[in-house]
Amino acid sequence: MATAVTFTNKPEELFVDKHVKYIQSLDTRKDELEYWLTEHLRLNGVYWGLTALHLLGRPDALPRDETIKFVQSCQHENGGFGAHPSHDAHLLYTLSAIQILAMIDALDAVDTEACAAYVAGLQKPSGVFAGDEWGEEDTRFVYTALQTLKILNKLDRVDVEKAVDFVLRCQNYDGGFGVVPGAESHSGQIFTCVGVLSMTNNLDRMTPASRDQLAGWLAQRQLPNGGLNGRPEKLEDVCYSWWVLSSLAMLGKLHWIDQNKLVGWILSCQDEVRGGLADRKGDAVDVFHTVFGLAGLSLVGWGGLKEVDPIYCMPVETTKRLFGPK
Amino acid sequence: MASYSSEEEEEEELDYTNDPVWADVTPLPQDDGHNPLAQIAYSPEYTIAMSYLRAIMAANDHSPRVLNLTSDIIGMNAAHYTVWGYRFKTLMSLDRSQTLEDEKIGWSWRQELEWVQSIAKRYEKNYQIWHHRQLIIDHLDDPTGERAVTGEMFALDSKNYHVWTYRQWLVQRFQLFDEEELAATASLLEEDVRNNSAWNHRYFIVLGRLGEAGPEEGVVERESELAKEAISKAPQNPSAWNYLKAVLRKGGIELATLKPFCESFAPILSPDEIKSSHALDILSEIYDEAGDSVKAEKALELLASKFDPVRKNYWRYRRRLLGSKPTPASDTPTIQATA
Ligand SMILES: [Zn+2]
């Protein structure tokens, strides 16, 4: 399936039309095994593609009715959503389903009451959420649970304070956050933890010194070539343009990294012929790295892209409609 | 157990259409409004197995053959989370009816764990595997051999986040805060002094679960010596510096005691001899606390201009903080033009 990628040698240009075409093409690749092997991610994939299209200013590039129908078909009797009709419900796909519907203003198309009950049922006595019936616990699931409920305006269904306490227990000696208390700091987990604190107006539960230490750790993720990594001593990767940048944005410290260098590095990961972005130059493009590369560019104010909300990873147009202006 | 070979298992193909084991099952093709022919044209094996899975799940079948079917699918697509869940449900159901360890089905928890490990080695990035393993070990209530299993994984990638998460769960669940765990982190750090995962784990086992009481005597000294030795080997390694600072904080020891150590890596009056930006960073704090604002400023200016210019805004912010410890200075972004 590895189609040759033509990386751009013009890292000052964003190939908007190519990226739109690339995302539109994803649902027509049913003759490729890859399409079937990624079925367990389909609802995430629709969310990634749709968010990218919104940021590119082409919100109507996917057929709205079909999108709604597909999301509806993924809801289970228990209220949660699976990645695909034949896959079990899980918080990761439940949030994607609700985000998709929020972006296209169609939340009334599904049973939101059942959905909120499903999410609330996954909170554990410690405040954390399990991802599904199998009980895996992770700060990612606290984020997905709370954002889902916040969009549905049903945060009162869970114990927000306990969830926040759990998240705070995951902060490490280096300032970062991990998957559970004691687990190594990781930029992806930091995004979810800072996201929880931001969306519940609890950022001040961290001391100013601790916020600075965290932002300093995040700024350390920038490598000399401009790219960002997820942990010390790891390779740079386009998706961290989102996890690291959005966290810095929530902390008000975007300017602590060299944004121009990062922009050039992200742009160099574009396929200028078929569209899409790769995790780094030399690898195959995919929709995951495409949306997070674009979202990163949007955060640093790249002209021509719609503004993205660092807390919710949806267009600001959507979050304003949902939550009112900040 | 000795004759079990995961490689053989991989080669073995299931023949759903001819094997009598599957004769009573009518496969359910994909039905989501798409044309199922396209996928069949591409990968018959995966498509056939999936259509049998749909039929089996629809019938809520948890007979031993489910183990073969799910291992076949996982071998082709380890990230298929629903299949893992269904497999675990089946194992538990066989366990309850006491058929699991029965010779007739030829499968035991031990074999399951070995098979899981063979899949883990093939799909290092997969995390469903580790949660599956956790569910089993939790059920068996016995961690024997599990540290060795994670050790094998660290030999392939000593920073594998999923494996570390599992290892911490193991330590927590079975209270393995012991000498073996300490030695394991020491040897991983010996191999790679920059392994942040190993530093983090060491903190977890040595200092992470302490309450108000604080560390036992000698522990802070031992741990700071370890960090200092590591820093001498690699002065630009942030993990060891972070660990050192954290150990001192936990032990209630003032940062100022590090002054000579830091100055040996960052003599600010001879910038050409500076070997560590992290030493400069700590020195700026130490000088500031001591009221020596000239030296503190010098250290931060060296960071902004020479040793870490990519983060110059951060270092300038730190400069504005000097002498004002309790309340942070205002931090208005300086303009950074993008297209
Ligand atoms: Zn990535």
From the list A178, A222, A255, the residue facing B310 with the nearest CB is A222
Q: Is A283 an interface residue toward B (CB < 8 Å)? A: no
Task: Give CA–CA dist A201/A326, Å, rounded.
Answer: 12
Cβ separation A40–B80 shorter than 8 A: yes
From the list A31, A86, A233, the residue facing B196 with the nearest CB is A233
SS3 A171: strand
B 21-80 residues inside an 8 A Cβ radius of A: 30, 32, 34-35, 38-39, 41-43, 46-47, 50, 54, 76-77, 79-80
Spell out which residues of chain A touch residue B38, defining contact as CB-CB under 8 Å. Answer: 30-31
| pLDDT tens per residue across span A72-120 | 999 999 999 999 998 999 999 999 999 999 999 999 999 999 999 999 9
Q: Which residue of B has its CA nearest to A182?
A: B204
> Three-state secondary structure along chain B?
CCCCCHHHHHHCCCCCCCCHHHCCCCCCCCCCCCCHHHHHHHCHHHHHHHHHHHHHHHCCCCCCHHHHHHHHHHHHCCCCHHHHHHHHHHHHHHHHCCCCCCCCCCCCHHHHHHHHHHHHHHCCCCCHHHHHHHHHHHHHCCCCCHHHHHHHHHHHCCCCHHHHHHHHHHHHHCCCCCHHHHHHHHHHHHHCCCCHHHHHHHHHHHCCCCCCCCCCCCHHHHHHHHHHHHHHHCCCCHHHHHHHHHHHHHCCCCHHHHHHHHHHHCCCCCHHHCCCHHHHHHHHHHHHHCCCHHHHHHHHHHHHHHHCHHHHHHHHHHHHHCCCCCCCCCCCCCCCCCC
SS3 A150: helix
Q: Is A208 an interface residue toward B (CB < 8 Å)? A: yes
Residue A244: what are its φ and ψ, rounded to 5°? -75, -50
Strand runs labelled E in A129-216: none
What is the per-residue pLDDT for B210? 66
Instruction: Find the B39 Cα to ligand 1 centroid distance in Å.
Output: 28
- B326, exposed or middle or buried, with CB in 10 Å at 0-12, 13-18, 19+? exposed
Chain A nearest C-alpha distance from B234 (Å): 13
DSSP state of A306: P
Spell out which residues of chain B touch residue A73, defining contact as CB-CB under 8 Å. Answer: 32
Cβ separation B194–A233 shorter than 8 A: yes
| Most B CBs within 10 Å, among A29, A72, A87, A136, to test the B interface | A136
- A301, exposed or middle or buried, with CB in 10 Å at 0-12, 13-18, 19+? middle
Q: Is A85 an interface residue toward B (CB < 8 Å)? A: yes
What is the per-residue pLDDT for B331? 64
A 14-33 residues inside an 8 A Cβ radius of B: 30-33
Question: How are beta strands A314-315 and A277-278 bridged, if at all?
Answer: unpaired
With a cut of 50, list the residues of chain B below it in pLDDT: 1-11, 32-41, 326-329, 334-339
On the CB side of B4, CA atoms within 13 Å amount to: 15
| pLDDT tens per residue across span B280-331 | 999 999 999 999 999 999 999 999 999 999 999 999 999 999 987 644 445 6
What is the per-residue pLDDT for B338? 40
- From the centroid of its chain, how far is CA A227? 18
Q: Which of B125, B228, B233, B306 is catalytic?
A: B125
Spell out which residues of chain A touch residue B181, defining contact as CB-CB under 8 Å. Answer: none
Spell out which residues of chain B touch residue A252, defining contact as CB-CB under 8 Å. Answer: 331
What is the per-residue pLDDT for B10? 47
Q: Show the tokens assigned to A17.
A: 């039309």
B261: Cβ contacts below 8 Å, ≥ 6 apart:
B228
Sign of CA dihedral A317, A114, A41, A265: positive
Task: Give CA–CA dist B124/A208, Å, rounded.
Answer: 38
Spell out which residues of chain B touch residue A180, defining contact as CB-CB under 8 Å. Answer: 165, 168-169
User: Is the distance from CB of A185 to CB of A174 less than 8 angstroms?
Assistant: yes
CA distances from A109 to A59, A65, A163 (A): 18, 11, 29
Cβ separation B88–A134 shorter than 8 A: yes
Q: Is A63 an interface residue toward B (CB < 8 Å)? A: no
Q: Which residue in A254, A261, A247 sits closest to A188, CA to CA?
A: A247
The pTM for the full model equals: 0.92
What does the longest C-alpha to C-alpha distance in chain A come to?
A: 54
For the question of residue B125 being annotated catalytic, the response is yes
Q: Is A37 an interface residue toward B (CB < 8 Å)? A: yes
From the list B194, B203, B310, the residue facing A261 with the nearest CB is B310
Cβ separation A261–B203 shorter than 8 A: no
A 240-279 residues inside an 8 A Cβ radius of B: 252-261, 263
Cβ separation B310–A224 shorter than 8 A: yes
SS3 A187: helix
What is the per-residue pLDDT for B35? 42
Cβ separation B238–A220 shorter than 8 A: yes
A 126-155 residues inside an 8 A Cβ radius of B: 132-136
With a cut of 70, list the residues of chain A below it in pLDDT: 1-4, 9-11, 29-32
Architecture of domain A16-323: Alpha/alpha barrel (1.50)
| Most B CBs within 10 Å, among A13, A31, A39, A237, to test the B interface | A39
Enter the CATH code of domain B1-142: 1.25.40.120
What is the per-residue pLDDT for B212? 62
From the list B80, B197, B311, the residue facing A184 with the nearest CB is B197
What is the per-residue pLDDT for A86? 86
What is the per-residue pLDDT for B7? 40
